[in-house]
Amino acid sequence: MTRSRNSPHQQILSDIYKRLFGYFGPQEWWPGDSPFEIAVGTILTQNTSWRNVEKVIQNLKHEKYLSAKKLHEMPHNKLASFIKSVGYFNVKAKRLKNFLSFLSNHYQGSMKRMATAGTVLLRENLLDVNGIGPETADSILLYALERPVFVIDAYTKRVLRRHGIVSDDVTYHEMQELLQNNLPEDVQLFNEYHALFVMVGKHYCKPKPRCDSCPLEPLL
DNA sequence: GACCAGGCACATC
DNA sequence: GATGTGCATGGT
Contacts of A66 (CB under 8 A, 6+ apart): A36, A37, A40, A57, A60
A88 CB inside 7 Å of strand C: yes
Spell out the domain ranges in chain A.
8-28+152-203, 35-144
Q: How many CB atoms lie within 10 A of CB A94?
A: 16
Taking a C-beta distance cutoff of 8 angstroms, is the pair A7, A182 a contact? yes
Say what the pLDDT of residue A5 is. 60
Question: CA A140 from chain center: how many Å?
Answer: 7
Say what the pLDDT of residue A210 is. 65
The class (CATH top level) of A35-144 is mainly alpha
Nucleotide nearest to A155 (CA to C1'): B6
Say what the pLDDT of residue A212 is. 64
pTM of structure: 0.95
Distance A77 CA to C8 C1' (A): 15
Phi, psi of A3 (to 5 degrees): -80, 120
pLDDT in tens, A76-122: 999 999 999 999 999 999 999 999 999 999 999 999 999 999 999 99
Say what the pLDDT of residue A13 is. 97
Say what the pLDDT of residue A86 is. 98
Say what the pLDDT of residue A220 is. 66
A90 CB inside 7 Å of strand C: yes
Low-confidence stretches of chain A (pLDDT < 50) are none
Rg (CA), chain A: 18
d(CA A36, CA A99): 11
d(CA A202, CA A196): 10
Say what the pLDDT of residue A3 is. 54
